Amino acid sequence: MAAMNSIRDTFFEECEELLEALADGLALMQAGENDAETMNAVFRAVHSIKGGAGAFGLGDLVAFAHRFETVLDEVRSGRIELDPEAFRVLFRSADHLTDLVAAAKGGTSVDKAITDTFITALDDCLEAHDIVSAAPEGDFSFSAVPLDLSADFLAPADPAAAQGFEIRLRPLATLYASGNEPAWLIRALGELGTVDAKLDLSALPDWQTMDLASPALGWDLQLLTDAGEAAVRDVFEFVSGHCELRIAVTLPKVAAMTLAVPPPADAAGPVLPVPPQGAAQRLPREAPVAADVAPANPTLRVDLDRVDRLINAVGELITNQAAIAQRVDEMSLATGAEIKAHVEDYRHLARDVQEAVMAIRAQPVKPLFQRMARIVREAADATGKSARFVTSGDNVEVDKTVIERLADPLTHMIRNSVDHGLEPPEDRLAAGKDATGTITLAASHRSGRVHITIRDDGAGLNRPKILAIAVKKGLVPPDAELSDAEIDALLFLPGFSTAATISNLSGRGVGLDVVRTAVAGLGGRITITTVPGQGSEFTISVPLTLAVMDGMVISVAGQTMVVPIASILETIRPEPDDIHHVGPTQSLLAIRGRFVPIIDVARELGLDPRGKPQTTPLLLLVEAENLSQCALAVDDVFDQRQVVIKGLDSNYGSIAGVSAATVLGNGQIALILDTDAVATGRDLAPIRPRPISHAMEGTQHGTA
């Protein structure tokens, strides 16, 4: 049972890859790449899912996949024209196939009425091109299709054009692990002509020493068909590399041929067809299937828990390295001491190991982007709009945890772009635009972070309307004078919505608020740019990983803290004339012909009661959410180092202005600043009466 469960799990892992290939192929076809290779890849993905599902008795999945592949077969044969309606049916069918796989994996089922709706759409697509649907018969579970592997399969063959083939099939363990089954391969041969199948038990070991994970059965097949050699090889196209396979052409095309007769019970083997006179000099031609195909890169599937344990161990390694380096520095050794060189080598090695381990968890954002393609289709159908979906940078790799936590924010953002960003088709035509809008999702690496951009070519943000709604809802005073960035930030307030009515997609004012909370939880930020009449762009910036980071170790009011290095533009020791005081507590820094606000970190966090910044403080110029730049005033900067991120939520709770904590080399706990929260003063008021030094005492006795 355990072995079968393992094979079943492998099948569903393969399904994820096949569904990804299906989505890729359909996207390429929609983009105009309708070559035979792309179409065959799409057909092959659905066919492979059907074959594996049949082996596990997943009847609903097999039945739908069969109907789906029937339509795809007609597409690749050129009998179905790929118009917009056909693409709509294919994409939605791929979405439903994904749902059926997910339901089968979870042991649940999809409402039959929903599946019937999609099957009807596929049948309508066939009927629209005058193609009769070959509805499958039977239960579609493998056990419901009895197959005698030592009997003949009789299928009509044209004797005037028949060829004979000898086929030797020896499955490998990977054939079964990938959800394939020899019985289905032999049945497919039976559809080409006459098959004589003989089961080979010679490799079968003793029952008590048998390894169930190692296949021991084999088949020797003789096939008489008029379909040609290419059709025979196509049967085994999906199992190339998963079996030992030899195909030999035993007879040329002849005008007539006597079919094989089953041998008597005492016969030593099958009676082969008699070759015509003069054919004895012909040697059988043998060749492995797809011998010219380069082998795929070897992969190893590892449980995620094992990777997590390895990452935790690497985190402890980095902390240990920092502790050793700290102790060596405290020894005041002479410059060039050998132990210092060893410690430096240790630091480089620890970093290399950390980067290698993090690369194991890194995954491309492509599967996430493919999920968003479905969201675009569903949102467009719900709103009656027409939208195309374009992606770029989908090979950018991010930590798996970051990808998982980005799914919900991106879903809200994509729906918002379709619902609020794109205009109705008639409005777009009136504005001289294409009736079909474009939603673009792009990813890129910048400064140790990943930037994900959601762009639409709609009407852009209507800032006067946004401000008027905010005033009406009492979110801002009527006489408020807000900048464009501040007006854009109103979209993320709880309860804010520009929708006139409540629908399935919008109107309750919770979408972008959820986005902001989720992105902030990842240590990220969101920026908005918009051009009236041309569209809007939302950019989410998040760290590549939630496990480690490069940070600047600083001192604030006697407390050691860490600032993420990715948010720091430069450190500045200004001249007294560069600082301009505005009011009793506010100051501005004059830098390169412009002014940026100075944020006193100690005062903002309630750590120091002083009324205004030092005359010449040490400043960190940073980028912050909704502020182009600002300067954080700190007491001192120690050094830059890589730190292991430790969450506080599970042991202490959320601390405003603090994103996480870390353990320094001397064993001291240092809080990691949330520069966006400190710079904007967001949610800091509740902690000002309570110094963070007390909060640090609360974490000393727990695991940070």
pLDDT band for 148, please (50, 70, 90 cuts).
very low
Instruction: Give the SS3 label for residue 684.
Output: coil
Which DSSP symbol is given to 499?
Answer: -
Helix (H), strand (E) counts: the chain? 19, 24
395 vs 588: CA distance, rounded Å: 42
Q: Look at phi and psi of residue 418 and say left if phi exceeds 0, alpha if psi is from -120 to 50, else beta.
A: alpha
Q: Do domains 2-143 and 146-261+282-287 have the same CATH topology?
A: no
Vertex 568: Cα angle to 562 and 571 (nearest 5): 95
Distances in Å between the Cα of 185 and the Cα atoms of 149, 235, 643 are 11, 7, 55
pLDDT at 687 over 60: no
Instruction: Give the SS3 label for residue 251.
Output: strand
pLDDT at 693 over 80: no
* 409, containing H or E segment: helix 400-416
Pair 595, 589: CB distance under 8 Å? yes
pLDDT band for 269, please (50, 70, 90 cuts).
very low
Options 1.20.1640.10, 3.40.640.10, 2.30.40.10, 2.30.30.40; CATH for 548-699 is 2.30.30.40
149 vs 112: CA distance, rounded Å: 34
Instruction: Give the SS3 label for residue 163.
Output: strand
pLDDT at 487 over 80: yes
**CB-side exposure of 336: number of CA atoms within 13 Å?**
0
Decide which of 399 and 499 is more confident: 399
Amino acid identity for residue 518 in this structure: A
Pair 64, 110: CB distance under 8 Å? no
pLDDT at 136 over 60: no
What is the reported pLDDT for 143?
Answer: 37
What is the reported pLDDT for 471?
Answer: 86
Mean pLDDT is lowest, of 209-213, 279-283, 319-323, 605-609, for 279-283
Mean pLDDT is lowest, of 187-191, 254-258, 309-313, 524-528, for 254-258
Mean pLDDT is lowest, of 5-14, 463-472, 555-564, for 5-14
Instruction: Give the SS3 label for residue 202.
Output: coil
What is the reported pLDDT for 207?
Answer: 66
Q: Of 680, 658, 640, 703, nearest to 347 (Cα)?
A: 640
Mean pLDDT of 183-210: 81
For the chain, what are the domain ranges?
2-143, 146-261+282-287, 304-362, 365-542, 548-699
pLDDT at 142 over 50: no
Which residues, including other chains, have CB under 8 Å from residue 317's CB and lie 6 or more apart?
Answer: 350, 353, 354
What is the reported pLDDT for 688?
Answer: 37
What is the reported pLDDT for 353?
Answer: 84
pLDDT at 98 over 60: yes
Instruction: Give the SS3 label for residue 316.
Output: helix
Q: Which residues pair with residue 168 across a beta bridge?
A: 220, 246
612 vs 600: CA distance, rounded Å: 8
Pair 537, 529: CB distance under 8 Å? yes
Phi, psi of 244 (to 5 degrees): -90, 120
Distance of CA 458 to the CA centre of its chain: 27
* 42, containing H or E segment: helix 36-55
Q: Of 212, 214, 213, 19, nearest to 105 (Cα)?
A: 19
Distance of CA 403 to the CA centre of its chain: 7
Residue 475, judged by CB atoms within 10 A of its CB (0-12, 13-18, 19+), counts as middle
Pair 533, 459: CB distance under 8 Å? yes
Mean pLDDT is lowest, of 290-299, 384-393, 569-578, for 290-299
Instruction: Give the SS3 label for residue 158.
Output: coil
Pair 90, 26: CB distance under 8 Å? yes
pLDDT at 689 over 70: no
Q: Of 189, 193, 191, 192, nearest to 167 (Cα)?
A: 189
Q: HEC string of 269-309?
A: CCCCCCCCCCHHHCCCEEECCCCCCCCCCCCCCCCHHHHHH
Distances in Å between the Cα of 58 and the Cα atoms of 7, 97, 102, 103, 114 are 14, 12, 12, 10, 17
Which DSSP symbol is given to 661?
Answer: E
Pair 253, 279: CB distance under 8 Å? no
What is the reported pLDDT for 254?
Answer: 38
Strand 387-392 with 437-446, pairing: parallel
What is the reported pLDDT for 153?
Answer: 42
Pair 453, 539: CB distance under 8 Å? yes
Distance of CA 201 to the CA centre of its chain: 44
E strand residue ranges, 270-341: 285-287
Pair 393, 454: CB distance under 8 Å? no
- Give residue-wise pLDDT tens across range 628-686: 688 888 888 888 887 878 777 666 666 777 878 888 777 788 888 888 778 766 545 43
pLDDT band for 453, please (50, 70, 90 cuts).
very high
What is the reported pLDDT for 576?
Answer: 83
pLDDT at 232 over 70: yes
Pair 201, 207: CB distance under 8 Å? no
Mean pLDDT is lowest, of 112-121, 182-191, 425-434, 644-653, for 644-653
673 vs 567: CA distance, rounded Å: 11
Can you tell me which residue has the tokens 């050094």?
639
What is the reported pLDDT for 208?
Answer: 66
Q: Which residues pair with residue 195 across a beta bridge?
A: 153, 223
pLDDT at 279 over 60: no
Angle between helices 2-30 and 36-55 in degrees, nearest 10: 160
Pair 613, 640: CB distance under 8 Å? no
Options 3.40.50, 3.30.70, 1.10.3470, 3.90.400; CATH for 146-261+282-287 is 3.30.70
| CATH number for the domain whose boundaries are 365-542 | 3.30.565.10
What is the sign of the dihedral through the CA atoms of 674, 679, 683 and 687? positive
Q: In terms of CATH, what superfamily is 2-143?
A: HPT domain (1.20.120.160)
131 vs 80: CA distance, rounded Å: 9
Pair 322, 664: CB distance under 8 Å? yes
Distances in Å between the Cα of 113 and the Cα atoms of 91, 109, 120 are 19, 11, 10
pLDDT at 512 over 70: yes
What is the reported pLDDT for 440?
Answer: 94
pLDDT at 595 over 80: yes
88 vs 99: CA distance, rounded Å: 17
Mean pLDDT is lowest, of 41-55, 172-186, 265-279, 379-393, for 265-279
Pair 559, 543: CB distance under 8 Å? no
pLDDT band for 330, please (50, 70, 90 cuts).
confident
The overall average pLDDT reported for the chain is: 76
Q: Which of 353-362, 408-417, 691-700 has the highest mean pLDDT?
A: 408-417
pLDDT at 611 over 60: no
Distance of CA 33 to the CA centre of its chain: 23
Q: Is the pTM of this model over 0.75?
A: no
68 vs 51: CA distance, rounded Å: 13
Mean pLDDT of 411-427: 90
Distance separating the N- and C-terminal Cα atoms of the chain: 41
Q: Which residues pair with residue 563 across a beta bridge?
A: 552
Decide which of 429 and 695 is more confident: 429
Pair 314, 354: CB distance under 8 Å? yes
Distances in Å between the Cα of 222 and the Cα atoms of 121, 189, 196, 347, 356 are 40, 10, 5, 65, 51
What is the reported pLDDT for 146?
Answer: 38
Pair 586, 597: CB distance under 8 Å? yes
Q: Could you please report the per-residue DSSP string of 214-248?
A: S---EEEEEEEESS-HHHHHHHTGGGTTSEEEEEE
Vertex 99: Cα angle to 95 and 101 (nearest 5): 115
